Amino acid sequence: MISIDQAVRNYQAGETVVRALRGVSLDIEQGEFISIAGPSGSGKTTLLNLIGCIDALDGGEITINGEAVSSMNKKSKTDFRRINLGFIFQTYNLIPVLTAYENVSFVLSLLDLPEQEVRERTMGLLKEVGLEGMEHRRPSRLSGGQQQRVAIARALIKNPQVVLADEPTANLDSETGEEILKLMKEMNRRHHTTFIFSTHDKMVMEYAERLVMLHDGQIISDERRQ
Amino acid sequence: MKFLISLAFKNLTRYKRRTIITALAIAIGIAMYIFIDAMLMGAEYESVRNLKWYETASARILDDEYWEERYQYPLDLNISDPDPILERLEAEGITASKRIVFTGDMILSRAEFGEDGNIPVRVTAIDPSRDFDVFHFGDTLIEGRFLEEDEEAILIGSWFAEDIGASVGNWVTIITRGNGGFYEAIDLQIVGILNCPNPNVNRTLIMMPIKTADYYLAMDGAATEINIRLPDQAEVEQEIATIQGLLNGNGITVMSWETMAKDYLAIAEAKRGGTGMILFLIFIIAAVGISNTMLMAIFERIRELGMMRSLGMSDMKIRIAFMLEAAGIGLIGSTIGVIIGVIANYWIINVGIDFGFLMREMDIGYRIQSIFRGTWNPGTIAVAFFAGILISTVVAYLPTNRALKMDIPSCLRHQ
Amino acid sequence: MRTKRTQKLLSLLVMICLIPSSLAAMSAEEIIRKTDEMQTFDTAITEGELQITDRFGTKISTFIAWSRGSEESLIEFTSTAERGQKILRTVDSIYLYYPDAQELIRMQGAALRQGMLGSDVSYEDMTGDNDRLSQYEVVLDGEQVIGDRMCYKLSLTATTRSVPYPKETIWIDKEHFIVLKGEYSTKSGRLIKEIDVLETGRFDDLVLATTTRISDTMKADSQTLMIIRELQVNVPIDSRIFSLDELSW
Ligand SMILES: Nc1ncnc2c1ncn2[C@@H]1O[C@H](COP(=O)(O)OP(=O)(O)OP(=O)(O)O)[C@@H](O)[C@H]1O
Ligand SMILES: [Mg+2]
C-alpha cells in the first residue's frame, strides 16, 4: 500500500547539509502496526513527514496506493491528507478553545458530512476511546492521556487508511503511555487502520508488530514480531 | 463555514485582553471618525448658515462690473436707482434691502481712546428699517441701541469693539473717499455693539445708516448692492432667474450666495479633503493595530496551524478562519465605536465644544464664533461601522499569508 | 493828517516801483499757471530719496526719475530693498513693475489711492494737479510769510467730485513760484494732508524745493520726506524710456 523506495531527504543547516534520510526503502501493508524507532536525529520525524505528504523528497520515491507522491500537486496532497491520513502529535495539538467533541468533529466538518452523521460518529468514537462524559470539556480540563485520546479520536474519526503518530507517548508518563499504545493497538485491530508511529522508547517498541530501526538516516533493521 | 465562524469567535475569547485592546483601538478610531465628521459637518452647516445670515444673504443684486472689482469696493459701480427695484421685489413677495459698502480709515483719537490710531475698515451702510429682514442682526445687539434712519452713528461688532477698546458713546472719524474720489471725513458715534455669531463679521463689523452715508459720499440715492433673502427651502437658482427677469438688464445682475461664496465653498471642499486625510490616518492606525494583533495571534498558534494543515484543511479555509477572526475583532470594535461615537455625537450636537478662545485669535475658515455643534450623519455612522469590519478583515490577509508560506513541518516544530 | 496820507502814498509808490509791474497785478489763476510752468520742464532727470517714517521707524528709498513734460515720467528705485522697481507714468496710466516677480501691474481706480512704497505720497498725488484750474475755483487770499519767504496764499475749492481734496490752501513763493506749503482738506475743511517745503535749493539758475515733507494729518506718527539731490533739466532723453515695452528691462 505504501512503498518507499530509496527515499532521500537533505536539510540545509547553514553552510552544512544534514542528510536526514540517506536512501530509505520500506513497504507497508494495510493494517500494519509499525514502529519507526531510533535515536534522536536518526530521521524518524522526517520519514513520517514524507509519508504524510507534508515534506518533499530530495531523491527516491514514495508511492501510496499506487500514486507517486512526487507527482502530486499541493492541492491533491492536501486532499489526500484530508481524506486518507490521520495525525497524532507528541504535543497533542488540540485547539484549546474547542471542547473534546469539537476538536474531533471539526475534522468531519472539513469533509462536509451531514451534521447528524458527524454527531453520531464523534460521540461513538469518543466513547470508544474512553472519553464518554467528557465530550464537552476543553483540553485544559483534560489530563495528558485524555488529551492524547482526543487526538487519537481526531485522527481516526474520518476512517483514514493510515494514522501517523510522531512520538505519541513522549509527553506522557509510562503508565499512561502504555494505555495510549493499547488504545492505538485496539483501534488498529478494530478499524484495520494502518498505524505508523515513531519512538525512541524501548517499552513503546515492545508494542510494535513490526519494528523498523533507523540510524543516521538509514534503516539498520526491520523485523516482524510475535 | 459554520465551523469556521464558530472557531473564529471562540478564538476571540482566547486572548480576551488583546482582543479587547485591539477592538478598543478600532473603536476609538471609529468613534473619532463619527465624532469628527459630525462636528465638521455641523460646523460646515452652521458656517454656511452664518455666511448667509450675516455676509452674503441668499442673493445679491450688483452692478454688472462690481463683482470683478469687489475688493476695491468701488462706489461708482453702483445701482443708481435702487428703490424701484426694491418695490418690484416687494411686490413679488421677495424680501430685500439696499446697502452701501465702502472702505476707509477709522481714526481713533487720543481723547476718546487714550492714544491716537488709525485702522483700515470696511463700513456697511444699511437701511435700518429693512436690513434686519434680510440679514439676521436683529437679535445680536448686546449693548446700546440700533441705528435710526438718519444719524451720524454706527454699530460695531463686539470683537472689533474689544480690539479697538471702544464702547458705546465713543466718537470715531472715518476718512474715506466719496463717490468720485474726493476725501471725506465723517464723525460718527458708536451707539450700539453687536455680537455677531459669524466671527469674520464680528471682527470687522461697522454699520451706519444708509442715508447718512448717501449724504457724505454723494451717492445721490445710489446703493452698491441690494441683498435678498429667500426662504430656506427656496430653489435659489430658479428664484435668481426670476429676479434676473424682473431686473431686465439695466447693467445690473443678481448673484446667488453660492456664487459669491465660491472661494469659501472651495476652501470648505478642500478642508473636507484634508479632514478625509485625518480620518484616513485614524483608519491606518487602527489597521496597523489589528494587523499586529493578528500577526501575534497567528504566530502564537502556528503549531495549531500546522496541525490543521496536516489534517488537510485548505489554505483558503485557514485564511477565511483568520479573516473571520479579524472581522470579529472589527465587529466588536465597530460596535463599541459606534456606541461611543453616538454618545459623543449626542454631546457635540446638544452641548458642543467652545472654540471661542481659538476663533477669537485667528480665522480658521469656519464662520462660527465659539461653539462648534455637530449634526447627525447616519451615512457616516454606517460607513464607519462597515469600514471597521472590512478593514480589519482585509488587514488580516497579510499575516495569514506569511504563516501559510511556512512549510508544515516547520509549523509543527514551532515553539 | 496830511503827512500821514503822504507817507502812505509814498510807501505805496515805493512798493510799486520795487515790484515788477507785470506781477503786481497777477490774478490767482495766473499765479497757478506760472507755478505750473515753473515746475514743468521739457525733460528732467532727478535723483533723490524718500524717507518714509511710520510707527515702525524710518525707511530710506533712493530713486532716479526721468520726466518729459508734466505727464510722462519713469521712476526707478535704486536702494537695495526695492532695487529695480519702476513706476511708469504715461499720459493716461500708471504702471508698476516688480523685477523679482517680473510682474507688471497697471494701477487704476481705487488702487491709485495707495501710498507709493507705503509712503504718504499716493500714486494719485503723483498724477494730480495737471489741470487744477479746470477743477478748482481759485481765490487769492492775500500774502503771508512762510519761513522767511513771502508767499501768495491761495484757496482752491473743487468744482468737481472727482478730485481727492475738495479744498486746498497753498502758499506759493512770490519770487520763485514754488509751492512752499499746502493744506489739503475735505469739503467741511478737515485737514487730510499737509505738504511743507523744508529746504529749497538752486540747480543752475533754477530754484526748487529740495526737501519736502508730506504728512497725513490723520496718521500722527507717519510722514514722508522727499529729498531731491540732483537735477538736470532739458537734457536729451530717449523717448523709448517712457514706453511700456521698455519697462521690464
Ligand atoms: N528543517 C530542518 N532543517 C535542518 N535540519 C533538519 C530539519 N529537520 C530535521 N533536521 C535534521 O535532520 C535530522 C533528522 O531529524 P528528525 O527530526 O527526522 O530526527 P528524529 O529522529 O525525529 O529525532 P528526534 O528523536 O529528536 O525527534 C536531524 O539531524 C535534524 O537536525
Ligand atoms: Mg522527531
| pLDDT tens digits, one per residue of B48-81 | 999 999 999 999 999 999 999 898 899 999 999 9
Paired with C44 in beta bridges are: C67, C233
- Cβ count within 10 A of residue A66: 7
The C-alpha of B181 sits at a distance from chain C's nearest C-alpha, in angstroms, of 5
State the distance from the centre of ligand 1 to the C-alpha of C112, rounded, in angstroms.
93
pLDDT at C1 (0 to 100): 47
State the distance from the centre of ligand 2 to the C-alpha of A200, rounded, in angstroms.
9
Give the mean pLDDT of B355-367. Answer: 78
Interface probe for B, chosen from A78, A152, A196 (most Cβ of B below 10 Å), is A78
3-state secondary structure chain C: CHHHHHHHHHHHHHHHHHCCHHHHCCCHHHHHHHHHHHHCCCEEEEEEEEEEEECCEEEEEEEEEEEECCCEEEEEECCHHHCCCEEEECCCCEEEEECCCCEEEEECHHHHHCEHHHCCCEHHHHHCCCCHHHHEEEEEEEEEEECCEEEEEEEEEECCCCCCCCEEEEEEECCCCCEEEEEEECCCCCEEEEEEEEEEEEECCEEEEEEEEEEECCCCCCEEEEEEEEEEECCCCCHHHHCHHHCCC
Q: Please name the residues between 197 and 256 in chain B that touch chain C, using a CB distance below 8 Å.
A: 218
Please tell me which of the candidates B7, B14, B412 has its beta carbon nearest to residue A89: B412
| Grid cell for residue B253 | 445682475
Stated as kind and residue range, the H or E segment containing A198 is strand A194-199
From the list B253, B194, B222, the residue with the least C-alpha distance to B65 is B253
d(CA A216, CA B41): 74
Same domain, B92 and B16: no
Confidence of residue C9 (pLDDT cuts 50, 70, 90): low
Same domain, B225 and B279: no
| Grid cell for residue A191 | 478499524
pLDDT at C10 (0 to 100): 58
d(CA B374, CA A118): 55
| Grid cell for residue C22 | 507785470
Q: pLDDT tens across B11-21, in order?
A: 888 888 888 98
On average, the pLDDT of chain B sits at 90
On average, the pLDDT of chain C sits at 83
From the list B285, B373, B354, the residue with the least C-alpha distance to B35 is B373
Residue B169 located in a structural domain: yes
User: What are the pocket residues of ligand 1 if the criterion is a CB atom closer than 6 Å to any ligand atom?
Assistant: A 11, 13, 18, 20, 38, 40-46, 200
The C-alpha of B260 sits at a distance from chain C's nearest C-alpha, in angstroms, of 21
pLDDT at A185 (0 to 100): 92
Residue B37 located in a structural domain: yes
Paired with C122 in beta bridges are: C115
DSSP B136: S
pLDDT at C5 (0 to 100): 61
Same domain, B167 and B223: yes
* Per-residue tens of pLDDT for chain A, all 226 residues: 899 999 999 999 889 999 999 999 999 999 999 999 999 999 999 999 999 999 999 999 999 988 999 899 999 999 999 999 999 999 999 999 999 999 999 899 888 888 899 999 999 999 988 999 999 999 999 999 999 999 999 999 998 999 999 999 988 898 999 989 998 999 899 989 999 999 988 888 889 999 999 999 999 999 998 6
Nearest CA to ligand 1 atom 11: A20
State the distance from the centre of ligand 2 to the C-alpha of B79, rounded, in angstroms.
98
pLDDT at A3 (0 to 100): 94
State the distance from the centre of ligand 1 to the C-alpha of A68, rounded, in angstroms.
24
State the distance from the centre of ligand 1 to the C-alpha of A174, rounded, in angstroms.
24
For chain B, percent helix, then strand, then coil, each to nearest 5? 55, 20, 25
pLDDT at B53 (0 to 100): 93
Measured between beta carbons, the chain C residues lying within 8 angstroms of B180 are 160-162
Q: Are B368 and B50 in contact (CB under 8 A)?
A: yes
Residue B224 located in a structural domain: yes
Q: pLDDT tens across C59-79, in order?
A: 899 999 998 887 888 899 998
pLDDT at C125 over 80: no
Confidence of residue C132 (pLDDT cuts 50, 70, 90): confident
Q: What are phi and psi of B263, to 5 degrees?
A: -60, -45
Q: pLDDT tens across C184-217, in order?
A: 999 999 999 999 999 998 888 788 889 999 988 8
pLDDT at B374 (0 to 100): 87
Residue type, C195: I
Percent of residues, chain B, with pLDDT higher than 90: 53
The number of domains in chain B is: 2
Residues 6+ apart with CB under 8 A from C44: C65, C66, C67, C231, C232, C233, C234, C235
pLDDT at C21 (0 to 100): 44
Range with top average pLDDT, B329-333, C7-11, C31-35 = B329-333
Write out the residue range of the structural domain in which residue B272 sits.
Answer: 2-51+265-413
Nearest CA to ligand 1 atom 3: A11
- Cα Rg for chain B, rounded, in angstroms? 31
d(CA C4, CA C7): 5
| Grid cell for residue B339 | 456606541
Report whether CATH 3.40.50.300 matches the domain A2-224: yes
Confidence of residue C130 (pLDDT cuts 50, 70, 90): low
d(CA A66, CA A89): 27
pLDDT at B44 over 90: no
pLDDT at C128 (0 to 100): 56
Q: Helix or strand or coil: residue B182?
A: coil
Residue B257 located in a structural domain: no
Q: How many helices (H) and strands (E) does chain B have?
A: 17, 12
Confidence of residue B366 (pLDDT cuts 50, 70, 90): confident
| Grid cell for residue B137 | 442682526
Same domain, B196 and B47: no
pLDDT at B228 (0 to 100): 94
pLDDT at C99 over 60: yes
pLDDT at B32 (0 to 100): 87
- Cβ count within 10 A of residue C225: 22
pLDDT at C219 (0 to 100): 77
Alpha carbon distances (Å) from B184 to A115, B118, B221, C134, C189: 97, 15, 17, 21, 10
Touching status, chains A and C (3+ beta-carbon pairs under 8 Å):
no
First to last CA, chain C: 76
Nearest CA to ligand 1 atom 29: A41
Please tell me which of the candidates B7, B14, B311 has its beta carbon nearest to residue A81: B311
- Please tell me which chains touch B, using 3 or more CB pairs under 8 Å as the contact test: A, C
Give the mean pLDDT of C138-160. Answer: 91
Measured between beta carbons, the chain C residues lying within 8 angstroms of B69 are 109
Stated as kind and residue range, the H or E segment containing B148 is none
Percent of residues, chain B, with pLDDT higher than 70: 100
DSSP B79: B
CB pairs under 8 A between A and B: 64
Same domain, B86 and B223: yes
How is domain C25-246 classified at the architecture level of CATH?
Clam (2.50)
The C-alpha of B357 sits at a distance from chain A's nearest C-alpha, in angstroms, of 54
pLDDT at C16 (0 to 100): 52
Q: Helix or strand or coil: residue B242?
A: helix
Domain boundaries, chain C: 25-246
Domain boundary among the residues B229, B256, B277 is at B229
d(CA B273, CA B279): 10
Nearest CA to ligand 1 atom 30: A41
Confidence of residue C13 (pLDDT cuts 50, 70, 90): low
Confidence of residue C22 (pLDDT cuts 50, 70, 90): very low
Measured between beta carbons, the chain B residues lying within 8 angstroms of A89 are 307, 412
d(CA B221, CA B83): 9
Measured between beta carbons, the chain B residues lying within 8 angstroms of C165 are 182-183
pLDDT at C25 (0 to 100): 62
pLDDT at C249 over 70: no
